[in-house]
Structure 1
Amino acid sequence: MAADTSPDDDVPSGAPAVRVRAFTLTSGRTTPRVDLPVEATLRRLGAATAGPVESHLTRILEVCDRRSVAEVSALVAMPIGVVRVLLADLVELGQVRVQTTIQEDSSFAERRELIERTLRGLRTL
């Protein structure tokens, strides 16, 4: 697959910037192999440098701890569908864990714990 080239303000004049199309990062995959709701909170399981060498995966690892899938997508400036597929890969590699979210049959204690975790996250902003 060919990459798009276009000038960019951060690149010295005369040198083309290379932008990779999003679907090339996922090898054309559009569906994650792990159930990953956009509101799911993630936990990194190790250092960002201990895992994959691909820069896009390293960027995701650097920002994903204690954030939702949607937040990670915004922070790395990638489409949410691409981030979901890449995060699912990281989950399968044992680099990221998905914290449970509320289900239809969740107990009062589980719902309360999620609300408290959300409040703690909001307070750190």
Structure 2
Amino acid sequence: MMNDSDEPSNALVRPYAVTRGRTRPRVEIAIEALVETTARGRDASVVGGREQQLIAGLCALRVQSLAEIAARMQMPLGVARVLVADMAADGLVAVYEPTAVGDDAVGTELLERVLSGLRRL
């Protein structure tokens, strides 16, 4: 038997209800991508849905990674990804994707030079 302190504070809402049945985001967002609320997203009258308002509030205080948003919201990463992608498409948040090295050979060459320098020490 559960007592009052064991019950979850929020009503159980299925993830598919939060994303309106969608499982894929409009655009793919990396787990380490940084998210920041835009000026438009700071206007509470524009932001719809409780989850989107919470995300906008989190990312207005400081830039958050997608993984941090999912963890702080206690929601599956896929759900957070769909919500953030929707918010980005609506101009409510800005998403900063990590920069990728275009050529792995350049990255490998740099690592080899660093290793060679360390061996000379």
If the length of structure 2 is used for normalisation, what is the TM-score?
0.69
Q: Larger RCO: Structure 1 or Structure 2 (Cα < 8 Å, ≥ 6 residues apart)?
A: 2
Residues 1:79 and 2:76 are matched in the alignment: yes
The structure number with the bigger radius of gyration is 2
Q: CA deviation at 1:54?
A: 1.0
CA distance in 2, matches of 1:78, 1:89: 16
Fraction of identical pairs, as percent? 32
Superposition deviation, residue 80 in structure 1: 0.7
Q: Which residue of 2 aligns with 1:35?
A: 28
Change (3 A) 1:104 1:8: farther
Cα pair distance change 1:98/1:8, threshold 3 Å: farther
* Alignment match of 1:19 (pick from 12, 20, 30): 12
Aligned residues: 97
Return closer, same or farther for 1:23/1:99 CA change in 2, 3 Å cut-off: same
Please tell me whether residue 94 in structure 1 is matched to residue 88 in structure 2: no
Structure 2's unaligned 5+ residue stretches are 104-121
- C-alpha distance in 2, partners of 1:42/1:68? 6
Cα deviation 1:12-37 (Å, max 9, x = unaligned): xxxxx631111111011111111200
Matched residues in 2 for 1:27 and 1:97: separation? 22
Match of 2:50? 55
| TM-score, normalised with respect to structure 1 | 0.67
